[in-house]
Chains A and B, each alone.
Chain A
Amino acid sequence: MSWEVVIGLEIHVQLNTVSKLFSGSKLSTGAEPNTQASLVDLGMPGTLPVVNKEAVRKAALFGLAINADICRHSVFERKNYFYPDLPKGYQTTQLAEPIVGAGEVEIQLENGEKKTVRIHHAHLEEDAGKSLHEDFHGMTGIDLNRAGTPLIEVVTEPDMSNAEEAVAFARKLHAIVTSIGICDGDMSQGNMRFDVNVSIRKPGEPLGTRTETKNLNSFRFMERAIKLEVERQIDVLEDGGEIVQETRLYNGDTHTARSMRSKEDANDYRYFPCPDLLPVAITDADLEALKAAMPELPNARKARFMDDYQLSEYDADLLSGSIATATFFEGAAKAGGDAKLAANWVMGELAARLNAEDKDISDSPVSAEQLGQLIARLKDGTISSKIAKQVFEACWAGEGDPDTIIEAKGLKQMSDSGELEKIVDDIIANNAPQVEDYRNSDDAKKKKKIGFFVGQAMKATQGKANPQQLNQLLREKLQ
């Protein structure tokens, strides 16, 4: 009997506010260590936190986006533990009364089915600093630039049953937070970090003991870490062992994981309401204003793509999945005047190329406008689809806009039928045996054998012959 996998996620989403959650310091992006840490961030004696209203607004917007109840008086609490990069000796977070209550997120599975993942809650909290273990002669350096960065921690119910579902959920969450503009979504910068809780059981049995693998910062690592952990748990149980409740660390470079601490070592965090902060009040008027300002959500965008561009549900889902992809697609479709072609190029050539170079669509060397131009030339017959790929490569390599490339390389399709006719005549004259063979074949075989002449013609024209025109001409001349 096979094993059933149960997965729940905790996701730290970094909010893209201007300043930190409880101080006026700017959020850090690559600044020198400790240059973006104020008295408050350093935990100086006598300093006090003041909550960033923009962070509250963004957290509540997220709540509305996942159809959750928004807590009208959410409470910040202190989570007490000692760590050098935790300046106050406690993290200010939320526990009993988080700002976002239960909600849900719908995901699309690869088999076309939909699944709802329930969100247990989401809470606001401050990030810690960083410990730097290299370059300090056996000592540890502390950089508090990140300390106080606003996060929402999104906690799901254990509703996912394999790594693919977990990734689909993670991508959907990424799409939501980037669509509503509360997170930059740059995984390489740690804008979203995943903790995965995994357990396995035989169908019908109660939940197994779970482990938590922390701080996964890419979809790929998350998928691989889950699969690795599931395999490990199956091996342990099938060897008659027991799963230990523990926190694990996954190393993406070596594709290995190790235990970090067991449940017995867990801290008693001594949570209690932070006496320096009042409950965060959210009024009806605040909620109305947020609803009015709600940007288009991925699901609405998907529906619109299906309606406006006649895309299949699968294509619409893929293209609406991230705000960057959606924006790119719409830009290319508009510039190129053909949504279907734009969809095919974005999901096909572009996606493959981005994937191969591990690039994000927002860093694509080919812009949406350039891809649109390419599509326009394809659509108006200036170039063939084969030539289009060549133009795309040149554009990717930074050789300029498609029009410039087509012009510079002389890639325009041969539109002069007289010139093409002469080439076809030459081919027929120079390949008598093949012509003979073609003429003696039945219709089915002719369809295959015409390929030889098309190939010769393309060779002769360096691919610039219009395929329809060439086929037409060949069929006439070979009769």
Chain B
Amino acid sequence: MSNAMHNKTLTELKAGLAAGDFSSRELTEHFLARIQQHDSELNSFITVTAEQALSQADAADQAIAAGNTGLLTGLPIAHKDIFCTEGVRTSCGSKMLDSFIAPYTATVVEKMAAEGAVMLGKTNMDEFAMGSSNETSYYGPVKNPWDLERVPGGSSGGAAACLGARLAPGATGTDTGGSIRQPAALNNITGLKPTYGRVSRWGMIAFASSLDQAGPMAQSSEDCALMLQAMAGHDHRDSTSLNEKVDDYLGALNNDIRGLTIGIPEEFFPDTLDGAIADNSRDAIRELEKLGAKVVSVSLPSVKLSVPAYYVIAPAEASSNLSRFDGVRFGHRCDDPKDLEDLYKRSRSEGFGDEVKRRILVGAYALSAGYYDAYYRRAQQVRRLIRDDFARAFEKVDVLMGPTAPETAFKLGAKKDDPVSMYMADVFTIGVNLAGLPALSMPTGFINGLPTGTQIIGNYFREGQILNVAHKYQQATDWHKQAPVFGGEQ
């Protein structure tokens, strides 16, 4: 039985725990053993918190016995190493924070723990979430479980890979420009970026504050709904978290989608797009048509400006957000600084990797006197146009769909020396962040044995509707159930 446990969804595991088929301790030990056995190949975890996990599991077993359970009681979850966890190293994938033991816990982690979740450990990621391949991590790249010579995507690459390889049944991620959705697509899992402000950012180390949003990653839409139910909600410690009622995501999963209008933005199917990628997403949309959805064509003319606008705004915010890493109070400090300037220069030069430095430089430039209007202000204007495009589309449609990423997982190192080509990996996901909309990526088939994903974008606070559409699709198909042949077992 335990061999099959890792192929079960969170929802199935929850039922198994409730039925007494296995204990949380057995479940947790099973996943810890899998991590120990396989993660040396994948490198999806930076820190495994086995001891803490087992004590949380024991507490969960007691809670289950007492009939005192929360949404996630006893379910093992892996947290992206961007979330502060009190007493546990929180590295953000950077040498800068290699020795940083967080003195407090992020709201997301706290809320999930309050619902009984068991933390397996902290997953690998691009340094400070800057990257689309997980190659910028100080802890080395994560491998794609579908092909160990390929990247898992990023920045939540560790989360997606450990889910794809069934080393964890659920994981948290963060998405600033596609960092949940793109790796979800590349690892054949489901991941949701909620509406900006739906999930608290307190305790989530900032990359680009106006774009960053945490979300759930799991095997199915149903599991994402379960996790989001625990993660979402207003937090008085985050001024940008919105005081909107949290919907009943689980309750909405089985809503009828007959009459639903799906918009297909022509910009998401450009002539240059790989035909096989386009076909997989068109097939998925056709499947939903069979379930009663209507399909219309729409246009988002400004979305083509997403990537350049994003690569001004996100680095600009990052250049400021990362200023606190100065070697004074926490994080890496160089040896024997000879004066203050030397302390700053060497601590930051040594502590940050190349991609982080590149973005700090780009961002500082975009905000500097004489360039602010040409870059930062202009990018904000473009951002408004993009938001307006989406708003116009949502006057006519319920959801928008298209491919999540323009290609399947690429080879490790393939884009190492070509940042712009790397940035284009997020061409379909970034617009959503600029607009602050919710969007989900779900598995929709393979190309040469590599997963592809399709994105469902909803209007503000329509996470329930997105999850509902994805769930209906996943009930009718089984792409999301495919797991890689990995470690000699299935």
Residues of A whose CB lies within 8 Å of any CB of B are: 39, 42-51, 78, 80, 82, 84, 87-90, 142, 268, 270-272, 275-278
Contacts and interface: CB of A to CB of B under 8 A. Distances in A.
A260 to B, nearest CB: 16
B148 interface: no
A51 B237 CA distance: 10
A278 B196 CA distance: 13
11 contacts: A42-B329, A44-B102, A44-B104, A45-B100, A80-B323, A82-B323, A84-B328, A271-B367, A272-B316, A272-B372, A276-B209
Contacts of A45: 84, 90, 92, 97, 100, 102, 205-206, 324-325, 330-331
Given A45-B205, A46-B84, A89-B324, 16 more contacts: A39-B103, A43-B329, A44-B104, A45-B84, A46-B90, A46-B205, A47-B203, A50-B238, A88-B323, A90-B323, A268-B369, A272-B367, A275-B210, A276-B206, A276-B209, A278-B239
Range of interface residues on B (Cβ < 8 Å) = 35 or more
Given A44-B103, A142-B328, A278 B320 contact: no
A47 to B, nearest CB: 7
B340 A84 contact: yes
A44 B369 contact: no
Given A82-B323, A90-B323, A268-B369, A46 B206 contact: yes
A90 B376 CA distance: 18
Nearest to A144: B329
Contacts of A44: 84, 102-104, 330
B368 interface: yes
B317 interface: yes
Contacts of B142: none
A271 B371 CA distance: 12
Main secondary structure on A side of the interface with B? loop
Main secondary structure on B side of the interface with A? loop
B326 interface: yes
Contacts of B83: 46
Contact of B239 (A42, A50, A84): A50
B204 interface: yes
A48 B84 contact: no
B205 A49 contact: no
- Chain B CB within 10 Å, residue with most, of A47, A48, A78: A48
A276 B84 CA distance: 18
A252 B208 CA distance: 45
B438 to A, nearest CB: 19
B329 A87 contact: yes
B328 to A, nearest CB: 5
Given A43-B329, A276-B240, A278-B239, A48 B202 contact: yes
A130 to B, nearest CB: 14
Given A39-B104, A82-B326, A82-B344, A47 B368 contact: no
Interface in B151-207: 201-206
B205 to A, nearest CB: 4
A275 B340 CA distance: 29
A48 B317 CA distance: 14
Interface string B357-381: 0000000100111001000100000
A337 B42 CA distance: 89
B320 A270 contact: yes
Contacts of B102: 44-46
Given A44-B104, A46-B202, A277 B372 contact: no
Contacts of A278: 239-240
Contacts of A42: 329
A272 B320 contact: yes
Contacts of A48: 201-202, 237-240
B239 A90 contact: no
A-B residue pairs, 10 tightest by C-beta:
A89-B323, A275-B210, A275-B209, A270-B367, A46-B203, A43-B324, A45-B205, A46-B84, A46-B205, A88-B324
Interface in B414-446: none
A89 B210 CA distance: 18
A271 B240 CA distance: 20
- Chain B CB within 10 Å, residue with most, of A46, A80, A89: A46
Nearest to A270: B367
Contacts of A268: 368-369
Nearest to A83: B340
Interface in B302-330: 316-317, 319-320, 322-326, 328-330
- Chain B CB within 10 Å, residue with most, of A49, A84, A275: A275
A275 B369 CA distance: 19
B236 interface: yes
B239 A276 contact: yes
Contacts of B202: 46-48
B293 interface: no
Given A46-B206, A48-B239, A272-B376, A78 B324 contact: no
B237 A50 contact: yes
A46 B320 contact: no
Contact of A78 (B104, B320, B331, B344): B320
Interface string B78-113: 000001100000101000010010111010000000
Contacts of B324: 43, 45, 87-89
